[in-house]
Structure 1
Amino acid sequence: MTSPSLPAINALVDVVLMDGEAYQSRVEDASGKRLTVAAPFGVASADVPKVGASMELAWVAGDRRQAVDVRLAALSREQPPRWSLEAVGSIRLQTRRNYVRGGGGEWVEVIHGGTTYTGRVIDLSEGGVRCRMTEDRFDRDDRVNLRVSLGQETITLSGTVLFVRRDPGNATYDVIITYETSELVGRAIRGYVLRREMEERRRNRESVANAG
Protein backbone atom coordinates (compact mmCIF):
# COMPACT_ATOMS: atom_id res chain seq x y z
CA MET A 1 0.00 0.00 0.00
CA THR A 2 1.30 3.46 -0.91
CA SER A 3 2.29 5.59 2.06
CA PRO A 4 0.17 8.71 2.51
CA SER A 5 1.72 11.94 1.25
CA LEU A 6 1.02 15.63 1.59
CA PRO A 7 -1.44 17.09 -0.92
CA ALA A 8 -0.08 18.15 -4.30
CA ILE A 9 -0.22 21.57 -5.95
CA ASN A 10 -3.81 22.58 -6.82
CA ALA A 11 -5.29 20.09 -4.33
CA LEU A 12 -8.33 21.35 -2.44
CA VAL A 13 -7.80 21.36 1.33
CA ASP A 14 -9.48 22.39 4.58
CA VAL A 15 -7.55 24.51 7.06
CA VAL A 16 -8.86 23.80 10.59
CA LEU A 17 -8.07 26.52 13.12
CA MET A 18 -7.74 26.02 16.88
CA ASP A 19 -11.41 26.86 17.45
CA GLY A 20 -12.34 23.83 15.33
CA GLU A 21 -13.68 25.87 12.42
CA ALA A 22 -12.68 24.58 8.97
CA TYR A 23 -12.01 26.87 5.99
CA GLN A 24 -11.53 25.91 2.35
CA SER A 25 -8.29 26.58 0.51
CA ARG A 26 -6.03 25.27 -2.26
CA VAL A 27 -2.36 24.27 -2.37
CA GLU A 28 -0.37 26.82 -4.39
CA ASP A 29 3.14 25.45 -3.86
CA ALA A 30 4.82 22.50 -2.13
CA SER A 31 8.39 21.79 -1.05
CA GLY A 32 9.18 18.98 1.38
CA LYS A 33 7.13 19.51 4.54
CA ARG A 34 6.30 23.10 3.59
CA LEU A 35 3.04 23.89 1.77
CA THR A 36 1.86 27.27 0.54
CA VAL A 37 -1.91 27.62 0.42
CA ALA A 38 -4.24 30.41 -0.62
CA ALA A 39 -5.44 32.36 2.41
CA PRO A 40 -8.42 30.26 3.57
CA PHE A 41 -11.73 31.63 2.32
CA GLY A 42 -13.95 33.17 4.99
CA VAL A 43 -11.39 33.89 7.73
CA ALA A 44 -12.01 37.38 9.10
CA SER A 45 -8.94 39.61 9.33
CA ALA A 46 -9.31 39.71 13.14
CA ASP A 47 -9.26 35.91 13.27
CA VAL A 48 -6.11 35.36 11.21
CA PRO A 49 -3.75 33.37 13.46
CA LYS A 50 -0.28 34.55 14.34
CA VAL A 51 2.86 33.05 12.86
CA GLY A 52 3.74 29.94 14.85
CA ALA A 53 0.11 29.01 15.57
CA SER A 54 -0.87 25.33 15.40
CA MET A 55 -3.68 24.12 13.16
CA GLU A 56 -4.73 21.15 11.08
CA LEU A 57 -4.72 20.58 7.33
CA ALA A 58 -7.22 18.05 5.91
CA TRP A 59 -7.86 16.81 2.37
CA VAL A 60 -9.37 13.93 0.42
CA ALA A 61 -7.06 11.47 -1.38
CA GLY A 62 -8.97 8.85 -3.35
CA ASP A 63 -11.85 7.86 -1.10
CA ARG A 64 -10.03 8.67 2.13
CA ARG A 65 -9.87 11.83 4.15
CA GLN A 66 -6.42 12.56 5.51
CA ALA A 67 -5.10 15.15 7.94
CA VAL A 68 -1.84 16.41 9.39
CA ASP A 69 -0.88 18.88 12.11
CA VAL A 70 0.74 22.01 10.72
CA ARG A 71 2.34 25.21 11.98
CA LEU A 72 1.78 28.60 10.39
CA ALA A 73 5.30 29.43 9.21
CA ALA A 74 4.62 32.71 7.37
CA LEU A 75 1.93 35.04 6.04
CA SER A 76 2.50 36.72 2.68
CA ARG A 77 1.58 40.33 1.96
CA GLU A 78 1.17 39.74 -1.77
CA GLN A 79 -2.18 39.61 -3.53
CA PRO A 80 -3.85 37.23 -3.35
CA PRO A 81 -2.52 36.55 0.17
CA ARG A 82 -1.05 33.15 1.00
CA TRP A 83 -0.23 31.13 4.10
CA SER A 84 2.92 29.05 4.44
CA LEU A 85 2.27 25.89 6.47
CA GLU A 86 4.84 23.43 7.79
CA ALA A 87 3.79 19.85 8.60
CA VAL A 88 4.84 18.94 12.15
CA GLY A 89 3.37 15.46 12.53
CA SER A 90 2.50 12.28 10.71
CA ILE A 91 -0.35 12.07 8.21
CA ARG A 92 -3.37 10.27 9.66
CA LEU A 93 -6.62 8.95 8.24
CA GLN A 94 -9.97 10.45 9.19
CA THR A 95 -13.54 9.48 8.46
CA ARG A 96 -16.39 11.91 7.96
CA ARG A 97 -18.84 9.32 9.23
CA ASN A 98 -17.60 9.68 12.80
CA TYR A 99 -17.38 12.70 15.04
CA VAL A 100 -14.01 13.62 16.43
CA ARG A 101 -13.86 12.20 19.97
CA GLY A 102 -11.60 13.30 22.76
CA GLY A 103 -11.37 15.02 26.10
CA GLY A 104 -11.57 13.14 29.37
CA GLY A 105 -11.65 14.12 33.03
CA GLU A 106 -14.12 17.00 32.71
CA TRP A 107 -17.00 17.07 35.19
CA VAL A 108 -20.52 16.30 33.98
CA GLU A 109 -23.92 16.63 35.63
CA VAL A 110 -26.72 14.34 34.45
CA ILE A 111 -30.25 15.33 35.43
CA HIS A 112 -32.83 12.54 35.51
CA GLY A 113 -36.18 12.46 37.28
CA GLY A 114 -35.52 15.84 38.85
CA THR A 115 -32.29 14.67 40.50
CA THR A 116 -28.76 15.73 39.49
CA TYR A 117 -25.98 13.13 39.43
CA THR A 118 -22.33 14.14 39.08
CA GLY A 119 -19.67 12.21 37.19
CA ARG A 120 -16.58 12.50 35.00
CA VAL A 121 -16.25 12.49 31.22
CA ILE A 122 -14.34 9.58 29.68
CA ASP A 123 -14.63 11.03 26.17
CA LEU A 124 -17.08 13.15 24.21
CA SER A 125 -17.95 14.33 20.72
CA GLU A 126 -20.59 16.37 18.93
CA GLY A 127 -22.83 13.30 18.96
CA GLY A 128 -22.46 11.87 22.46
CA VAL A 129 -20.58 11.56 25.73
CA ARG A 130 -19.29 8.58 27.69
CA CYS A 131 -19.15 9.35 31.40
CA ARG A 132 -18.33 7.51 34.61
CA MET A 133 -20.86 7.76 37.41
CA THR A 134 -20.85 6.45 40.98
CA GLU A 135 -24.61 5.88 41.20
CA ASP A 136 -26.72 3.27 39.41
CA ARG A 137 -29.62 5.45 38.33
CA PHE A 138 -29.80 5.07 34.55
CA ASP A 139 -31.26 2.63 32.04
CA ARG A 140 -31.24 2.40 28.28
CA ASP A 141 -33.56 4.91 26.53
CA ASP A 142 -33.84 7.19 29.59
CA ARG A 143 -34.26 10.81 28.56
CA VAL A 144 -31.84 13.04 30.46
CA ASN A 145 -30.46 16.56 30.56
CA LEU A 146 -26.79 17.20 31.14
CA ARG A 147 -24.26 19.92 31.74
CA VAL A 148 -20.68 19.38 30.63
CA SER A 149 -17.63 21.44 31.51
CA LEU A 150 -15.45 22.42 28.53
CA GLY A 151 -12.63 24.25 30.25
CA GLN A 152 -13.95 27.72 31.03
CA GLU A 153 -17.27 27.02 29.29
CA THR A 154 -20.25 24.88 30.36
CA ILE A 155 -22.69 23.51 27.79
CA THR A 156 -26.22 22.24 28.39
CA LEU A 157 -27.68 19.36 26.37
CA SER A 158 -30.65 17.01 26.22
CA GLY A 159 -30.03 13.39 25.27
CA THR A 160 -30.90 9.72 25.53
CA VAL A 161 -29.06 7.00 27.43
CA LEU A 162 -27.72 4.55 24.86
CA PHE A 163 -25.83 2.10 27.05
CA VAL A 164 -24.97 1.45 30.70
CA ARG A 165 -22.10 -0.80 31.75
CA ARG A 166 -22.34 -1.64 35.42
CA ASP A 167 -19.24 -2.53 37.43
CA PRO A 168 -20.51 -2.85 41.02
CA GLY A 169 -17.17 -4.30 42.13
CA ASN A 170 -15.57 -0.90 41.57
CA ALA A 171 -18.73 1.04 42.44
CA THR A 172 -18.71 2.77 39.03
CA TYR A 173 -21.05 2.85 36.05
CA ASP A 174 -20.12 3.89 32.52
CA VAL A 175 -23.03 5.69 30.87
CA ILE A 176 -23.14 6.57 27.16
CA ILE A 177 -25.52 9.39 26.28
CA THR A 178 -26.26 10.47 22.71
CA TYR A 179 -27.61 13.87 21.68
CA GLU A 180 -28.05 16.27 18.79
CA THR A 181 -26.36 19.65 18.92
CA SER A 182 -26.95 23.03 17.36
CA GLU A 183 -24.20 24.34 15.11
CA LEU A 184 -23.04 26.69 17.86
CA VAL A 185 -22.78 23.97 20.52
CA GLY A 186 -21.33 21.48 18.04
CA ARG A 187 -18.63 23.98 17.12
CA ALA A 188 -17.82 24.54 20.80
CA ILE A 189 -17.39 20.80 21.40
CA ARG A 190 -15.41 20.26 18.21
CA GLY A 191 -13.08 23.16 18.97
CA TYR A 192 -12.52 22.00 22.54
CA VAL A 193 -11.74 18.41 21.48
CA LEU A 194 -9.33 19.56 18.77
CA ARG A 195 -7.55 21.93 21.16
CA ARG A 196 -7.14 19.17 23.72
CA GLU A 197 -5.81 16.84 21.01
CA MET A 198 -3.33 19.39 19.68
CA GLU A 199 -2.13 20.26 23.18
CA GLU A 200 -1.59 16.59 23.99
CA ARG A 201 0.42 16.03 20.80
CA ARG A 202 2.48 19.15 21.55
CA ARG A 203 3.24 17.87 25.06
CA ASN A 204 4.23 14.49 23.63
CA ARG A 205 6.59 16.13 21.14
CA GLU A 206 8.16 18.26 23.87
CA SER A 207 8.52 15.21 26.12
CA VAL A 208 10.35 13.31 23.37
CA ALA A 209 12.56 16.32 22.62
CA ASN A 210 13.44 16.80 26.30
CA ALA A 211 14.17 13.10 26.72
CA GLY A 212 16.61 13.27 23.84
Structure 2
Amino acid sequence: MSDPDPFLDRPEETASADVTLISRGLTVTAHVEISDVSLVVVRPTGGAPGWDSAEIQPGDAVELYWVGGHEERTLTGTVNQIENGADPRWHLAVSGQAQRSQRRKAVRARVSVPVIIPWAGAQMEGKTVDLSEGGMRALMDGWGVPMDPGTPTQVSLELDDALVHLHGEIVWTSIRGAQWLMAMKFVDVPEKAADTLRRRVFQALRDERAANAG
Protein backbone atom coordinates (compact mmCIF):
# COMPACT_ATOMS: atom_id res chain seq x y z
CA MET A 1 0.00 0.00 0.00
CA SER A 2 1.34 3.44 -0.88
CA ASP A 3 1.89 6.09 1.74
CA PRO A 4 -0.98 8.57 2.20
CA ASP A 5 -0.67 11.83 0.34
CA PRO A 6 1.03 14.20 2.83
CA PHE A 7 -0.84 17.18 1.35
CA LEU A 8 -4.10 15.57 2.45
CA ASP A 9 -2.67 14.51 5.81
CA ARG A 10 -1.57 17.93 7.10
CA PRO A 11 -2.39 21.49 6.00
CA GLU A 12 0.09 23.23 3.74
CA GLU A 13 2.29 25.89 5.29
CA THR A 14 1.00 29.39 4.36
CA ALA A 15 -2.51 27.94 3.84
CA SER A 16 -5.65 29.10 5.60
CA ALA A 17 -7.30 26.86 8.19
CA ASP A 18 -10.10 26.95 10.75
CA VAL A 19 -9.34 26.10 14.36
CA THR A 20 -12.33 25.14 16.50
CA LEU A 21 -11.88 25.49 20.25
CA ILE A 22 -14.10 22.61 21.32
CA SER A 23 -14.70 23.62 24.94
CA ARG A 24 -15.82 27.13 23.95
CA GLY A 25 -17.55 26.36 20.67
CA LEU A 26 -15.60 29.05 18.81
CA THR A 27 -14.04 28.74 15.38
CA VAL A 28 -11.12 30.99 14.50
CA THR A 29 -9.64 31.60 11.06
CA ALA A 30 -5.88 31.05 11.11
CA HIS A 31 -2.78 31.17 8.93
CA VAL A 32 -0.66 28.00 9.00
CA GLU A 33 3.01 28.84 9.63
CA ILE A 34 4.48 25.41 10.49
CA SER A 35 2.97 22.08 9.52
CA ASP A 36 4.65 18.86 10.62
CA VAL A 37 3.60 15.32 11.47
CA SER A 38 3.20 16.08 15.17
CA LEU A 39 3.00 19.89 15.30
CA VAL A 40 0.99 22.57 13.52
CA VAL A 41 1.68 26.22 14.39
CA VAL A 42 -1.03 28.70 13.42
CA ARG A 43 -1.42 32.46 13.65
CA PRO A 44 -5.07 33.33 14.40
CA THR A 45 -6.36 36.02 12.05
CA GLY A 46 -9.98 36.37 13.06
CA GLY A 47 -13.03 34.92 14.73
CA ALA A 48 -16.20 35.80 16.55
CA PRO A 49 -16.03 38.56 19.16
CA GLY A 50 -14.96 37.13 22.48
CA TRP A 51 -12.07 34.91 21.40
CA ASP A 52 -8.88 35.86 23.17
CA SER A 53 -5.56 34.04 23.41
CA ALA A 54 -5.44 34.86 27.12
CA GLU A 55 -8.45 32.58 27.66
CA ILE A 56 -6.96 29.64 25.75
CA GLN A 57 -4.95 27.22 27.84
CA PRO A 58 -2.41 24.49 27.03
CA GLY A 59 -4.21 21.17 26.92
CA ASP A 60 -7.39 22.61 25.38
CA ALA A 61 -8.83 20.31 22.70
CA VAL A 62 -9.07 21.65 19.15
CA GLU A 63 -10.25 20.55 15.74
CA LEU A 64 -8.32 21.74 12.69
CA TYR A 65 -10.02 22.12 9.29
CA TRP A 66 -8.46 22.94 5.91
CA VAL A 67 -8.94 22.35 2.19
CA GLY A 68 -6.81 19.49 0.85
CA GLY A 69 -7.23 18.46 -2.77
CA HIS A 70 -10.92 18.76 -3.61
CA GLU A 71 -12.33 18.31 -0.12
CA GLU A 72 -12.16 19.66 3.39
CA ARG A 73 -9.93 17.69 5.78
CA THR A 74 -9.93 17.60 9.58
CA LEU A 75 -7.57 16.63 12.37
CA THR A 76 -7.98 16.71 16.15
CA GLY A 77 -5.30 17.91 18.52
CA THR A 78 -4.51 19.84 21.68
CA VAL A 79 -3.03 23.25 22.39
CA ASN A 80 0.62 22.61 23.28
CA GLN A 81 1.96 26.16 23.62
CA ILE A 82 0.64 29.71 23.30
CA GLU A 83 2.60 32.76 22.15
CA ASN A 84 0.65 35.80 23.33
CA GLY A 85 1.09 39.41 22.33
CA ALA A 86 -0.01 41.55 19.43
CA ASP A 87 0.67 38.73 16.96
CA PRO A 88 -0.26 35.51 18.81
CA ARG A 89 0.58 32.00 17.67
CA TRP A 90 -0.82 28.68 18.81
CA HIS A 91 1.23 25.48 18.80
CA LEU A 92 -1.09 22.53 18.22
CA ALA A 93 0.00 18.97 18.97
CA VAL A 94 -1.53 16.59 16.39
CA SER A 95 -1.21 12.91 15.57
CA GLY A 96 -2.69 10.29 13.30
CA GLN A 97 -4.20 10.43 9.85
CA ALA A 98 -6.39 13.35 8.84
CA GLN A 99 -9.96 12.50 7.91
CA ARG A 100 -12.50 13.83 5.46
CA SER A 101 -14.42 16.60 7.23
CA GLN A 102 -17.99 15.77 8.20
CA ARG A 103 -18.89 19.22 9.50
CA ARG A 104 -21.82 20.83 7.81
CA LYS A 105 -19.98 23.95 6.78
CA ALA A 106 -19.05 25.26 3.36
CA VAL A 107 -15.43 25.75 2.37
CA ARG A 108 -14.31 29.33 2.94
CA ALA A 109 -11.61 31.46 1.30
CA ARG A 110 -10.21 34.95 1.64
CA VAL A 111 -12.15 36.80 -1.05
CA SER A 112 -12.61 40.55 -1.46
CA VAL A 113 -15.65 41.47 -3.55
CA PRO A 114 -18.03 44.44 -3.32
CA VAL A 115 -21.03 44.04 -1.00
CA ILE A 116 -24.27 46.03 -0.73
CA ILE A 117 -26.67 45.61 2.20
CA PRO A 118 -29.93 47.62 2.46
CA TRP A 119 -29.87 49.53 5.76
CA ALA A 120 -31.82 52.34 7.37
CA GLY A 121 -33.49 53.44 4.15
CA ALA A 122 -30.23 53.49 2.21
CA GLN A 123 -27.43 51.13 1.18
CA MET A 124 -24.47 50.06 3.29
CA GLU A 125 -21.42 49.32 1.13
CA GLY A 126 -18.23 47.42 1.80
CA LYS A 127 -16.16 44.39 0.79
CA THR A 128 -16.02 40.80 1.89
CA VAL A 129 -13.14 39.58 4.07
CA ASP A 130 -13.89 35.93 3.43
CA LEU A 131 -16.64 34.08 1.65
CA SER A 132 -18.29 30.68 1.31
CA GLU A 133 -21.52 29.42 -0.21
CA GLY A 134 -22.92 29.45 3.33
CA GLY A 135 -21.97 32.95 4.49
CA MET A 136 -19.42 35.73 4.66
CA ARG A 137 -17.57 38.19 6.81
CA ALA A 138 -17.48 41.71 5.39
CA LEU A 139 -16.03 45.07 6.36
CA MET A 140 -18.82 47.59 5.85
CA ASP A 141 -19.10 51.38 6.07
CA GLY A 142 -21.69 51.40 8.82
CA TRP A 143 -23.65 54.08 10.62
CA GLY A 144 -26.31 54.32 13.28
CA VAL A 145 -27.17 51.30 15.43
CA PRO A 146 -25.84 47.92 14.19
CA MET A 147 -28.24 45.11 13.39
CA ASP A 148 -28.87 42.62 16.17
CA PRO A 149 -27.76 38.99 15.75
CA GLY A 150 -30.52 37.05 14.00
CA THR A 151 -31.72 40.05 11.98
CA PRO A 152 -32.78 38.91 8.48
CA THR A 153 -31.50 41.03 5.61
CA GLN A 154 -30.79 41.04 1.92
CA VAL A 155 -27.28 41.24 0.47
CA SER A 156 -25.89 41.74 -3.02
CA LEU A 157 -22.41 40.49 -3.99
CA GLU A 158 -20.53 41.44 -7.15
CA LEU A 159 -19.30 38.12 -8.57
CA ASP A 160 -18.09 37.46 -12.12
CA ASP A 161 -19.05 41.01 -13.14
CA ALA A 162 -22.65 40.43 -12.07
CA LEU A 163 -24.66 41.08 -8.91
CA VAL A 164 -25.76 38.00 -6.97
CA HIS A 165 -28.73 38.76 -4.72
CA LEU A 166 -29.11 36.65 -1.57
CA HIS A 167 -31.05 36.48 1.66
CA GLY A 168 -29.08 36.33 4.88
CA GLU A 169 -29.09 36.60 8.63
CA ILE A 170 -26.72 38.63 10.79
CA VAL A 171 -24.53 36.45 13.06
CA TRP A 172 -22.53 39.20 14.79
CA THR A 173 -21.17 42.72 14.26
CA SER A 174 -17.92 44.16 15.60
CA ILE A 175 -17.60 47.97 15.52
CA ARG A 176 -14.24 49.20 14.21
CA GLY A 177 -14.60 52.97 14.20
CA ALA A 178 -16.48 54.03 11.09
CA GLN A 179 -16.42 50.47 9.78
CA TRP A 180 -18.29 47.39 10.93
CA LEU A 181 -16.94 43.87 10.61
CA MET A 182 -20.08 41.82 10.04
CA ALA A 183 -20.62 38.07 9.89
CA MET A 184 -23.62 36.85 7.96
CA LYS A 185 -24.98 33.42 7.10
CA PHE A 186 -26.83 33.00 3.83
CA VAL A 187 -30.34 31.53 3.87
CA ASP A 188 -32.04 29.44 1.15
CA VAL A 189 -29.31 30.02 -1.44
CA PRO A 190 -30.53 29.20 -4.97
CA GLU A 191 -28.54 26.45 -6.69
CA LYS A 192 -27.23 28.75 -9.44
CA ALA A 193 -26.01 31.29 -6.87
CA ALA A 194 -24.43 28.51 -4.77
CA ASP A 195 -22.52 27.30 -7.84
CA THR A 196 -21.28 30.84 -8.52
CA LEU A 197 -20.13 31.22 -4.91
CA ARG A 198 -18.33 27.84 -4.94
CA ARG A 199 -16.51 28.70 -8.18
CA ARG A 200 -15.32 32.02 -6.75
CA VAL A 201 -14.18 30.42 -3.47
CA PHE A 202 -12.19 27.63 -5.13
CA GLN A 203 -10.72 30.08 -7.63
CA ALA A 204 -9.45 32.14 -4.67
CA LEU A 205 -7.99 29.02 -3.03
CA ARG A 206 -6.20 28.03 -6.25
CA ASP A 207 -4.87 31.57 -6.73
CA GLU A 208 -3.61 31.67 -3.13
CA ARG A 209 -1.90 28.29 -3.48
CA ALA A 210 -0.24 29.35 -6.77
CA ALA A 211 0.96 32.64 -5.25
CA ASN A 212 2.44 30.86 -2.24
CA ALA A 213 4.20 28.33 -4.47
CA GLY A 214 5.70 31.03 -6.68
TM-score by length of 2: 0.51
Segments of 4+ moved more than 4 angstroms? 56-60, 91-94
Q: How do 1:30-49 residues align onto structure 2 when only pairs under 5 Å count?
A: none
- Give the direction of change, closer, same or farther, for the CA distance of 1:189–1:94 in structure 2 (3 Å limit): farther
| CA-CA distance at 1:114 after TM superposition | 3.5
- Distance in 2, matches of 1:93 and 1:205, equals 25
- Distance in 2, matches of 1:202 and 1:92, equals 23
1:134 paired to 2:138: no
| CA-CA distance at 1:4 after TM superposition | 4.1
Quote the RMSD (CA, aligned, Å). Answer: 2.9
Q: Which residue of 2 aligns with 1:204?
A: 212
Higher relative contact order (CA 8 A, sep 6+): 1
**Number of corresponding residues:** 126
Q: Which residue of 2 aligns with 1:95?
A: 101
Deviations 1:101-150 (A, max 9, x none): 11332110001344211011011111111111121343222221111112
Deviations 1:36-92 (A, max 9, x none): xxxxxxxxxxxxxxxxxxxx84479xxx679xxxxxxxxxxxxxxxxxxxxxxxx98
- Distance in 1, matches of 2:116 and 2:71, equals 37
- Partner letter of residue 133 of structure 2? E
CA contact 1:166–1:174 (8 Å) conserved in 2: yes
CA contact 2:71–2:100 (8 Å) conserved in 1: no
Q: 1:192 aligns with which of 192, 200, 203?
A: 200
Identity of aligned residues (%): 21
Q: Which residue of 2 aligns with 1:157?
A: 166
- Distance in 1, matches of 2:130 and 2:117, equals 15
Q: Which structure has the greater CA radius of gyration?
A: 1
- Distance in 1, matches of 2:71 and 2:112, equals 31
- Distance in 2, matches of 1:110 and 1:134, equals 10
Question: Any unmatched runs of 5+ in structure 2?
Answer: 7-67, 76-96
| CA-CA distance at 1:175 after TM superposition | 0.9
CA contact 1:108–1:147 (8 Å) conserved in 2: yes
Question: Any unmatched runs of 5+ in structure 1?
Answer: 7-55, 67-90, 207-212
- Distance in 1, matches of 2:163 and 2:99, equals 30
